[in-house]
Structure 1
Amino acid sequence: MPAVRLRAVLTVAVAAGSGFACHRSSPPAPVTSDPAPDANDPALPPGSPAYSAPLCSHDQLLGGLEPTHTNTRFEHALLRETVLKQTDTGVRPQQSQTLASVGLACQTVTDVPACARLLASTVATTSLFAGSNPLQVRYLVLQSGANVRPIATRSQLLTLLGAIDTPGEARLLAATLGVQPLCGDDSVRSIDGGYRVITKRSQAQCTNQYDGVIVDVVRGQPTIVNTVDLRDRTLACTTAPTP
């Protein structure tokens, strides 16, 4: 092959190779991890470990009511449940049970039996904690000296607590929305102006299935800010008994 023609062929081949190199795709960008969740974001996915914490017991919930820390001092407090009966003249208490207590009862009174009788007979017909059964109410009973009174509304509870400045108080106030606070190490988190409380709530159709509910307690007001479906589809549905 003549030298001139060979040089031309080589020139075309080199040019073609250079063009291929120019159009080669760039290497993929390195994979980066997802950004860390925002601490102020109320959304927690259904599989979040936060929802695996145990529900607070009645004693743990009432433990948020510290006699030396409340706005109104008291010696003894009860978490009481009362079953009501509808009559022609309105609802009437049928039977009551004490679910939890804190403090020592009737320690500073001269007539202890009278104080004990008053504690046992003090009931309410409205519920401090929202629920699906209007004939089953839960509330607090406070005793200070010879004075015994029920706490059956959120405004009464706020008057008792004053500023909400402990995780236990935030849990107790969140529970008035009808949710069940969790008692894990990270179930109450500080946020601007208050606390974020991680809770669960039984679903209306199946009482053994739950929604995860995030409640913000800010300046004394509990507000549901997020709800997720936590249904376990491997469980058979358990329905609530008819009132």
Structure 2
Amino acid sequence: MKITQVTDAVWMLNFGVGQAYAIRLPEGFALVDAGWAGHERRILDALAGLGAGPRDLRDIVITHCHKDHYGSAAALAAATGARVLAGAADAPVIDGSAPLPEPKLADWEVPLYEAHSPQVPPAPPVRVDRELTDGDTLDWGEQARVIHVPGHTYGSIALHLPASGVLFTGDTIANVQYLMPGVFNVEPERMAAAFRTQAALDVETACFGHGDPITSGAGAALRAAADRLP
């Protein structure tokens, strides 16, 4: 696993395929997404390298209900006592009480999806301690604001930290060769709106579910990309 410092308080944990983010809080750490099932030991080791013991992990925020983003959440919650938070519309998938909705794939996405999806191991269900809705806030020393950005999944959320200018997009935006809406979406028609909602924010740093973060001038880059969307 590659660990990259993004800001003074944010680190990207890259697993080769997929990634999560560790955020230093005034007391402890939060995690945005949890990687594939089986990544919990690597995540705990990464936190230890940042000076954090298991009980220092306070929150695990899941941006959406895909198994490559919450696969290790159950094991991490059990090992640390951290609470699990997710968008209200995705919580039933994450806790195992509802099936994962199938994406509406464009023709060009079908071979990518068929190649990628079988590689990801099943994600054990995990209890969602707090269901998040648009406008909710988390007290992480500075305020973290929840933005409901449906399209990739019904309950996809982004997290915006206005004071530090950091945005976590989940898979609603990807930075793979260029900035683009995410793929494998349940509501493809809503993805441009999700992108533009986030591009309108005051953002210096953007952290994506796939692709390298933008550490400077992210808002301008997002707005330029949004202007190119159909």
TM over 0.5: no
Q: Larger radius of gyration, structure 1 or 2?
A: 1
User: Could you say which TM-score interval applies, normalised by the shorter chain?
Assistant: under 0.3
Determine which structure has greater relative contact order: mean sequence separation of CA pairs < 8 Å that are 6+ residues apart, divided by chain length: 1
- TM value normalised by structure 1: 0.25
- TM value normalised by structure 2: 0.26
